[in-house]
Structure formats: C-alpha cells, structure tokens
Structure 1
C-alpha cells in the first residue's frame, strides 16, 4: 500500500474528516486511480475500523465518526470514479420495525455494510411489514435487515416474514435481524439470520451473498 493510501486509511480509522478530504484530494492530484483510492484507501480504512470494533478497540461513537470521514472522502472522490469502479456487493433494505423508534444500531450496521460495498436503502424507524414488502418490490434487494430494541416489537419481524411469504417474496431475499432482545434462537424460529453487532452483520451479509 502506498504512503498516500495509508494516509487515507489512517484518516478514516482516526475519524479525521478534514484529513480524509485532503488526503483523497492529494492522491487525485498525484494521479492515483479513483478505484485504487477507493479500495486501497477508503474501504481499507473502513474495513480496519470493522476489525477494531469487533475486537472491542473502538466503540459506536468512533465508528460513526469514521463513517463520516469516509463519506467526506467519497464526496471528493465521486466525480473521479468511473462506471464500474465501485463494485457493489449487493443491495440491502434496512428498517427498524413497526412500533420501534431506535435508530443507532441499524444506522451503524448500514454504515458498516456501505463501507463494505453494499448499496443501502434505509427505510427509517417504525416501519410496517407492508412498507418493507413494498420496498422489496420496488428495490429488488438481496438482503432485508430488520432491527428491534424492544421485546414488544420483535413480533413485527415475524409478521414481516409472514407477509413476505404470502407475497411470494421470501425466497427471493436473505433476511438479517438484530437488536438487544433478539437472539439466534428467535431468528431461526421465524426463518431469519441473526447477527450480534454491526461487524458480525457485515460478515453475515458476506456469507449470505457468498462474497
């Protein structure tokens, strides 16, 4: 990895927003290829953040700041990327289920997956099974990610899966669920896949997509 790419990656890991912008611009000024800056700088940095998060070296606030730094770098880089430079691993629709307004965990998973090359459609919070099914029809995603932080709202995950089955869409998507009260046992009961945290969610998505 060149020194410039290392600087970009380090700016992401350290959550240095201005440095991310500046180091991406410097790499462009030096004639580096857009796709190399993306893969060897920005994505490499975000991947390292994922590893640190998994190992308990960094926590949610740091990951969110790193994601902001990556987005800042991407803003500079986007005009220089060619069609095909950004290889999308897959498309995922995310939602916090009906009755639940918790957002941070879902946002974190979405950011980490975006950093790993997924296209993310975030439907927000308090999303009904019908809205999720509508989104599947509209966006044709590979993955649905559902989050619940309350025991009382977990049932909406089951309802969503039942609605997907009724509409004949269940076999067309992989379903991931997570959140404080959710367990692997519950996921298996309702026909979904469980991840314990944002880093595990990226690994799970990659397994489901056979990346």
Structure 2
C-alpha cells in the first residue's frame, strides 16, 4: 500500500497526469481510503515538489505540470471524500494588484497553497483596492494575498493595505505580499508580511494561521 503511495508521489514529481490517474484509480479499486490517498500520496508528492522548487531543483514549468497531475488525482477522489476528510487550514483571497496583469506567479502560489490545504479564491489581475476589500468581506477571508511584478504597481499594495485599514479589516485579516520587485523591507513598511516565492507563501500562510 505504501508502495502505491510512493509511486503516486513520484508520478506527481514527474508531472505525469496519465500515471497519476491510473495509480489513483488503482488505489480506489483496491478500496483504499480516499483521505489517505489524498494526504499520504498526492499532498505528500506536492510537498516534495515545494521543497525541490525552493532548492532550485525544479522550475516553474515542472511545478505547473506537477500541480496539473495532482489536480487529476484530486478530481478522481472528490466524489469519495467525506465532509471533514479535507481539513481546510483557512481561506485566502488572492489578487494581482491594480495596474498589474502578471498572472503566472500568482497561479503558482495558488496551486501550492491549495496543495497545502488552503481554500484560495482568485479575484483576478489589475484589482483595485476597493475590490480587494470587497473580496475579503464577501469570502470572509482569513488571509489576503497580493502580488505585484512591476515596481510601478507596488504602490497599489500600499493603497490596498490602507483601504483594508480604513474598512476596519486590518485586525481581522492577515496580509501577504510578494512578487519580483517586492522586498521584506517594503512589506514591513506597508504593514504586510513578505513571501519570496510559492513555497515561502505556504510557509508564511502556515505561520500566520498558526498551523
């Protein structure tokens, strides 16, 4: 049984959608627990992807392939998972800030966060501060994550944090920011928490949610 879990994890690392689908189906046919297949095989594989990505041994295209393979396995398990099998660590609203149309970094973070057990609501690109505030309220978010890939759009992060404060949400929601031009120093200066990459985003979310 643990051998099958290992094979599934390795297939996630290889980004092999067909192999993951076949192996997960094999596990289902053998009557293995959907919860265990999710946690001990799929999520285990995705955690390993996160570690290798952080160490520079995997790159963005390979992480995207791994996430696609994991998603294929999750889709097979979804009908079999009971309420409570999937413990969500928290809800995250994620936006690329106003003026910025970059999406790949955000997508990568979302895949890693979902793989780590967070419910993530992507509210899009070029999102103005008032829409970010709306998203937090509408989805009752635990965390709001913002991405900026241009130096010129970093100011929109500061405006968004100020809007969160003006709407009395600053004490209710944790704020994560990241992107190529963003630094730890800038994050602190605007009252947010900094994450350098997709793997760090998971570590930071866990830290903020104390899980």
Output the TM-score relative to the length of structure 2.
Answer: 0.99
Determine whether 1:76 maps to 2:80.
no
Q: CA RMSD in A?
A: 0.8
Hey, what does 1:88 align to over in structure 2?
88
**Deviation by residue 1:130-166 (Cα, 9 ceiling, x = unmatched):** 1110011100111111000111100111111111111
Hey, what does 2:133 align to over in structure 1?
133
**How far apart in 2 are the matches of 1:74 and 1:157?**
33
**How far apart in 1 are the matches of 2:106 and 2:143?**
14
Q: Aligned-pair distance for 1:11?
A: 1.1
Q: Which residues in structure 2 correspond to 1:178-189 (within 5 Å)?
A: 178-189=178-189
Determine whether 1:54 maps to 2:63.
no
Q: Aligned-pair distance for 1:4?
A: 1.1
Q: Per the alignment, in what secondary structure is the counterpart of residue 170 of structure 1?
A: coil
Determine whether 1:154 maps to 2:179.
no
Q: Which stretches in structure 2 are left out of the alignment for 5+ residues? A: none
**How far apart in 2 are the matches of 1:21 and 1:76?**
8
Output the TM-score relative to the length of structure 1.
Answer: 0.99
Q: Aligned-pair distance for 1:117?
A: 0.3
Q: Which stretches in structure 1 are left out of the alignment for 5+ residues? A: none
Hey, what does 1:114 align to over in structure 2?
114
Q: Per the alignment, in what secondary structure is the counterpart of residue 171 of structure 1?
A: coil
**How far apart in 2 are the matches of 1:186 and 1:170?**
17
**How far apart in 2 are the matches of 1:167 and 1:43?**
36
Determine whether 1:170 maps to 2:164.
no
Q: Per the alignment, in what secondary structure is the counterpart of residue 70 of structure 1?
A: helix
Determine whether 1:145 maps to 2:135.
no
**How far apart in 1 are the matches of 2:97 and 2:89?**
25
**How far apart in 2 are the matches of 1:19 and 1:180?**
34
**How far apart in 1 are the matches of 2:103 and 2:42?**
25
Q: Per the alignment, in what secondary structure is the counterpart of residue 87 of structure 1?
A: coil
**How far apart in 2 are the matches of 1:205 and 1:66?**
21
Q: Aligned-pair distance for 1:69?
A: 0.3
Q: Per the alignment, in what secondary structure is the counterpart of residue 92 of structure 1?
A: strand
Q: Per the alignment, in what secondary structure is the counterpart of residue 84 of structure 2?
A: coil
